[in-house]
Amino acid sequence: MLSMELRGVTKQYKQKKAVDDFSLKLEEGVYGLLGANGAGKTTLLRMLCNILKPTSGIVLCNGMEIDEMDGEYRRILGYLPQQFGYYPNMTAERYLRYLAELKAVPPGLIDSKIEELLELVELSEMRKKKIKTFSGGMIRRLGIAQAMLNDPEILILDEPTAGLDPKERIRFRNLISGFSKNRIVLLSTHIVSDVEYIADRILLMKQGKLIGQGNLEEIVEQVEGHVWTCMVDAQTAEEYNRKYAVSNLKNQGEKVELRIVASQKPVEDAVSVEPGLEDVYLYYFEQETEE
């Protein structure tokens, strides 16, 4: 069975420890790496792809250090960088062909692979158009296609849904669900709904550390009893918005209905409600404002 493992992986930039003693085992399935801006997601993914060397710790694939696998690791890896480079004057088809050659896709398979991937990311009609005429969402989809050119067993996507509209997001989810069988797919995002629907396991990352992991149910369970709703007047609503992590705010006539994430009951008449992943996100990543 396919496996990846990070053992005590740390990345120290000059001033900043971007990834801090990160240990994790990945087996087949879809993993959603969720964390706020600057949490260290990109740094972690780049180390997983062997683009960046850890300051300490090791990364293993099927029990072998990736650093020692050399070409073999690249052959089974697909990667979409957060900022992926492309040639604006190339057509979509030309660009994919260029990368397929770089990735040593067997020449006899290149045409059919490109055909299949353009279809999959719904860019077939744009195949002869220059990339500079593409929308942000189209470029992102082209990026997803290039990451899949070598039919990778390990697919790492850094914010694959950035810039996609809601329809494109749904299509992306379906595409990944279909693709992920017998593979490892790891995607980073700060969009809760991306991982809510497709990730088998959710990884919560904060300040370089893995602070929680589990399936959706297990993750959501962690904030059970910490999510409340209450009705308050507008002035109190404003005060609470500063004081607590407020995950929703709805005007109801004179009053305001608040959804609050807090360890303690915020007001006497607050009612405890079922948590969702968005509440978890707030609980872990925006609770700093709470006293």
Q: Which two tokens stand for residue 18?
A: 């971007």
Q: Which two tokens stand for residue 20?
A: 């801090």
Q: In this chain, which of 16, 53, 132, 250 binds ligand ATP, going by CB under 6 A?
A: 16
Residue 120's SS3 state is: helix
Residue 160 engages ligand ATP in binding (rule: CB under 6 A): no
Q: Which two tokens stand for residue 12?
A: 């120290």
Question: Which residues, 75 to 114, sit near ligand ATP by CB under 6 A?
Answer: 82
Taking the complex as a whole, the smallest distance from the CB of residue 204 to ligand ATP amounts, in Å, to 12
Residue 54 engages ligand ATP in binding (rule: CB under 6 A): no
Pick the piece of the chain touching Mg ion (CB under 5 A) from 16-24, 36-44, 83-91, 165-173: 36-44
Residue 17's SS3 state is: strand
Q: In this chain, which of 6, 39, 156, 256 binds ligand ATP, going by CB under 6 A?
A: 39
Residue 40 engages ligand ATP in binding (rule: CB under 6 A): yes
Residue 189 engages Mg ion in binding (rule: CB under 5 A): no
Residue 275 engages ligand ATP in binding (rule: CB under 6 A): no
Which DSSP symbol is given to 11? E
Q: Which two tokens stand for residue 249?
A: 């705010």
Closest-CA residue to 72 (of 61, 84, 59):
61
Closest-CA residue to 80 (of 39, 109, 121):
121
Residue 146 engages Mg ion in binding (rule: CB under 5 A): no
Task: Confirm if 289 and 252 have CB atoms less than 8 A apart.
Answer: no
Residue 41 engages ligand ATP in binding (rule: CB under 6 A): yes
Strands 64-65 and 227-233: unpaired
Residue 227 engages ligand ATP in binding (rule: CB under 6 A): no
C-beta of 18 vs 261, nearer to Mg ion: 18
Task: Confirm if 209 and 217 have CB atoms less than 8 A apart.
Answer: no
Residue 53 engages ligand ATP in binding (rule: CB under 6 A): no
Q: Report phi then psi at 228, rounded to 5.
A: -135, 150
Taking the complex as a whole, the smallest distance from the CB of residue 267 to ligand ATP amounts, in Å, to 34
Residue 42 engages Mg ion in binding (rule: CB under 5 A): yes
C-beta of 180 vs 188, nearer to Mg ion: 188
Q: Which two tokens stand for residue 124?
A: 């077939």
Q: In this chain, which of 18, 26, 59, 245 binds ligand ATP, going by CB under 6 A?
A: 18
Closest-CA residue to 223 (of 208, 243, 194, 202):
202
> Residues interacting with ligand ATP, by CB under 6 A?
13, 16, 18, 35, 37-43, 82, 190
Interface positions with Mg ion (CB under 5 A): 41-42, 82
